[in-house]
Amino acid sequence: MRLFRAVLTAHDYLFFIHSEYGVPLRSLTSEYIHNYALMYALNTLELTTQRIVSTTIPHYIKEDKPNLEELAKFSVYATPASRSDKAPIIGFSQESMKKASIPFPEAPVQITWNAIREGQVSTTELAKKLVYPKFGTYTKQPPLSTFQFYTIGMGPSIIRIGKKDAIARIDYEELEVFRTIRISELTDPLLIHHPVNPLDLPSGVNPRFTKMYLMKPSRLLLGVELTATNVDNKTIAVAKARDRLGNIIHIAIPNIRLYSSLASIP
């Protein structure tokens, strides 16, 4: 099993709608990136599946359940990503990356917009000057914002992601996996070092969490501890890995029945 820590650096304004509310309308961009969005980008499936032409209905959900046929296309798995305090990296070689690192940018950026309401434009109204604008604001993560997540397998170093297909660079660090924990071994709560999509957890694994983060297409769990009462001694639930500085990282392994392309995990 090859596990990587990935740091995503946005090279443009990163925009996706987390929530909308109020009058005038206010749209917010999240400090987290859902792992479905990351996996579509890492597996470069956008162009091959023609999502805009097909429909706007999510392909990864079918009848309110994960769509096994769609998830099976992902050969690289990613955890949800969280906003990072790591300095952005914009170089190409390791040496130039160090030289090109710059201070962490502020976030998010708020932008105000206005537009003519639908149905407000007519010859009569224009003559009477009764065209009323619609106001709103939205937020974007500024260029060089960084996000951290973990992957099973390594994807491309350049991706497009977000509502406007912003270009982003990804720097991977391969981790040393020194132990895998099976479901039957999760007798005591084990802290996971990344946000968790509960739909990805294997059957029998129970998450305890400190915060539920509401976003589409499914909520994320933060501050997660995993336990299990299942006696399954074959399915891997957590991988213990070590980075180059010796830090220990606990990564939740997804349900292989959902991601059949990852079935080769030992």
**Per-residue pLDDT tens listing for the chain (266 residues):** 899 999 999 998 888 776 665 566 666 677 899 998 899 889 875 544 444 444 545 566 555 566 777 788 888 999 999 998 776 766 555 555 555 555 556 667 777 766 655 554 455 555 555 556 676 676 788 888 899 999 999 999 999 988 788 899 999 999 999 999 999 999 999 999 999 999 999 989 999 999 998 887 888 999 999 999 888 888 999 999 999 999 999 999 999 888 887 766 55
Give residue limits of the domains in the chain. Answer: 3-106+139-262
Task: Tell me whether strands 158-161 and 205-208 are parallel, antiparallel or unpaired.
Answer: unpaired
pTM of the model as a whole? 0.81
User: Residue 264 CB: number of other CB atoms within 10 A?
Assistant: 9
Contact 32, 213 (CB under 8 A): yes
Exposed/middle/buried for 79, CB within 10 Å: 0-12, 13-18, 19+? buried
Distances in Å between the Cα of 208 and the Cα atoms of 114, 150, 194, 219, 223 are 43, 20, 13, 14, 8
pLDDT at 133: 66
pLDDT at 48: 45
